[in-house]
Amino acid sequence: MTMRTIVEGVQKFCREEYPPRKAFFEQLAAKRQKPVVLFITCSDSRVNPNLITQTEPGDLFVIRNAGNIVPPHGAPVGGEAATIEYSIEVLGIRDIIVCGHSQCGAMQALLDPQAVANLPLVRSWCGHAEATRRIVAQKYPHLSGPELTVAAIKENVLVQVNHLSTHPSVAARLASGELRIYGWYYDIGAGRIEQYDQARGLFVDVRQEPCATRPLPTLSPEVALA
């Protein structure tokens, strides 16, 4: 893949993809956006939210950053907090997905800080997942390698869901029952999505109903991570 390939892709879109769907794109542009889900996931280039959910442009409002991290309310104001507030207060979003994924470099860095010793900004950002690191050290001393990384990725989803619930707009809607939150783990190689099932205390394949449509309740660290 090169920049030339990217440009050729744009040319193909303009030439072959846009013309037969011209009316769809014109309608998108003419109307106010009305996404149905706020999708919070990692910056990893292998994660494509619209592909794995089979959704169209305009369906998902997306936040992406290293490690699908949600700084808690009270942290220095950044794009995540502003986007969360806007999605709920202006766009009327009522469903939020926090999606981690396999082979997450941010979680690998969290477990091995020396790997990012020369990346001070990355180290600082991973500080928002410090609870994840401590939970993993406490709960999984028997794991190592890929199994430990998967455990960290899944625990981090729950930690970030808890962070999400500290934001005033989120907390208010959760309290009134107007907002639902889902914790996902995406296995890239297997093409599988797992969702956290609070009742069973584990991630299960979303193809196993009714878990796929059951949101997480308002979480506290004691409940979510038990």
Q: What is the tens place of the pLDDT at every residue in 86-144?
A: 999 999 999 999 999 999 999 999 999 999 999 999 999 999 999 999 999 999 999 99
Strands 192-197 vs 202-205: parallel, antiparallel or unpaired: antiparallel
**What pTM, to 2 d.p., does this model score?**
0.91
DSSP characters over 65-130: ETTS--PPBTBPP-HHHHHHHHHHHTS---EEEEEEETT-HHHHHHH-GGGGTT-HHHHHHHGGGH
Strands 37-42 vs 202-205: parallel, antiparallel or unpaired: unpaired
Tell which phi-psi region holds residue 210, choosing left (phi > 0), alpha (psi between -120 and 50) or beta: alpha
Return d(Cα 207, Cα 226) in angstroms, integer: 24
CA dist 209 to 51, 70, 217, Å?
21, 28, 17
**pLDDT by residue (tens digit) across 153-187?**
999 999 999 999 999 999 999 999 999 999 999 99
What's the confidence (pLDDT) of residue 200?
Answer: 86
Beta bridge partners of 62: 39
Return d(Cα 160, Cα 166) in angstroms, integer: 10
Whether 63 has a pLDDT exceeding 50, the answer reads yes
Strand ranges (E), 7-58: 37-42
Whether 2 has a pLDDT exceeding 60, the answer reads yes
Confidence grade of residue 221 (pLDDT, cut at 50, 70, 90):
very low
CA dist 183 to 57, 118, 157, 174, Å?
22, 31, 6, 15
Return d(Cα 63, Cα 164) in angstroms, integer: 12
Beta bridge partners of 197: 202
| Domain range list for the chain | 34-224
What's the confidence (pLDDT) of residue 226?
Answer: 28
What's the confidence (pLDDT) of residue 75?
Answer: 86
What's the confidence (pLDDT) of residue 220?
Answer: 43
Return d(Cα 127, Cα 174) in angstroms, integer: 26
The dihedral of CA 215, 67, 222, 218: what is its sign? negative
Architecture of the domain spanning 34-224: 3-Layer(aba) Sandwich (3.40)
Cα-based angle 209, 62, 30 (whole degrees, multiple of 5): 110
What's the confidence (pLDDT) of residue 205?
Answer: 93
CA dist 212 to 10, 181, 216, 222, 223, Å?
35, 12, 11, 23, 20
